[in-house]
Amino acid sequence: MEIPFTKLHGNGNDFVLIDEYEKMVIPDDMKAHFAALYCDRRFGIGADGILYLSKSATSSIRMRIFQPDESEAEMCGNGIRCLAKYAFDAGYIGETCTVETPAGEVGVALAYANEDFTATIRMPTPKFERRDIPATGDGEYRERIGEFDVYAANTGVPHAVILVDAVDSIDITAAAPPIRHHASFLNGANVNFVQKTGDDSIRVRTFERGVEEETLSCGTGATACAVIVRKLGYMGDIVHVETQGGPLTIHFNDGVKMEGPAVTVFSGVISY
């Protein structure tokens, strides 16, 4: 069987997209294993996740994302930008659309400026209560885990947020897993280390659940970090986030919105 695919990235957070808009290409019971095979960077195409694009009964389009460990993520901010770019280029959507995800419907506004594509995503309402992250206990989340004070928010998926003086000083492969797997996080958590770099700017490094390593960018993670630093009183209604792969901007003046780029890398055919 030959399967067309498109490789895209949002600030280096890269995805393989399978277009199922007209018909199912990968059966549901094979989607997770397919992700494990083709996310592999040595024996597959290489990606942080597989995006499955399909029609939706309630929204403009539907997105599912499966990760290298075969888990399905509820939401992915960078992935939605990539999905929206592909769908717009294919003529499936216009300059505004809605995307059905397991975390709920997400609104998207998109535009080209010359060759550069940008999308602004209306993110799910951030949740701070432990039951909504989900995490053990009551009230908002703050725990001392090892040497770190850990905050948490759910911005579509659960995120731990740790404020540090210098993100580059963190050995993320050693520091993140004990937090990612901490017993207080009922479904595990993505782990973000954040450094304040200005009155309205931060730097973020993210260890992603499901990928199980640091990724170059995480949209929901950037949003979670901006949400936490704003909640703590360090930032205002616009937060500029620098990720390892490039910039994102989080806006708070009308709900929570994430603005950033998406790039098509190449297309091809898998013999499966």
Average pLDDT over residues 13-19: 98
- Please list, in sequence order, all residues whose beta carbon lies within 8 angstroms of the beta carbon of residue 111, skipping any fewer than 6 positions away: 95, 117, 118, 119
Whole-prediction pTM value?
0.94
Residue 272 predicted with pLDDT over 90: no
**Cis-peptide, bond into residue 68, ω within 30° of zero:** no
d(CA 258, CA 123): 7
- DSSP assigned state of 253: S
3-state secondary structure of 159: strand
pLDDT at 48: 98
Residue 58 pLDDT grade (very low, low, confident, very high; cuts 50, 70, 90) = very high
Distance CA 267, CA 90 (A): 13
CB atoms within 10 A of CB 131: 12
**CA distance linking residue 124 with residue 156, whole number of Å:** 6
Position 1 pLDDT exceeds 90: no
**Calculated CA dihedral for residues 256, 98, 248, 211, nearest 10 degrees:** 110
For 184-199, the pLDDT digits (tens) are: 999 999 999 999 999 9
Pairing of strands 61-66, 96-101: parallel
Tens-place pLDDT, residues 199-243: 999 999 999 999 999 999 999 999 999 999 999 999 999 999 999
- Residue 104 identity: G
For residues 92 and 232, what is the distance between their CA atoms, to the nearest angstrom?
Answer: 41
CB atoms within 10 A of CB 143: 18
Checking if the pLDDT of 108 tops 90, the result is: yes
Residue 113 CB contacts under 8 Å (≥ 6 apart), including other chains: none
| Alpha-carbon span 143 to 124, nearest angstrom | 24
Please count the residues of the chain. Answer: 272
Mean pLDDT of 33-44: 97
Specify the 3-state DSSP secondary structure of 211: coil
Task: Give the separation between CA 225 and CA 229, rounded to whole angstroms.
Answer: 6
- Structure confidence by residue, pLDDT tens digits, 112-138: 999 999 999 999 999 999 999 999 999
Question: What are 130's two structure tokens?
Answer: 């432990």
Cis ω for the linkage preceding 178 (within 30 of 0): no
Report, as residue numbers or ranges, the catalytic residues: 76, 218
Token duo for residue 266: 């190449």
Please give the average per-residue pLDDT across 66-71, as a whole number: 97
DSSP H stretches of helix in 69-171: 77-89
123: region left, alpha or beta (phi > 0 left; psi from -120 to 50 alpha): beta
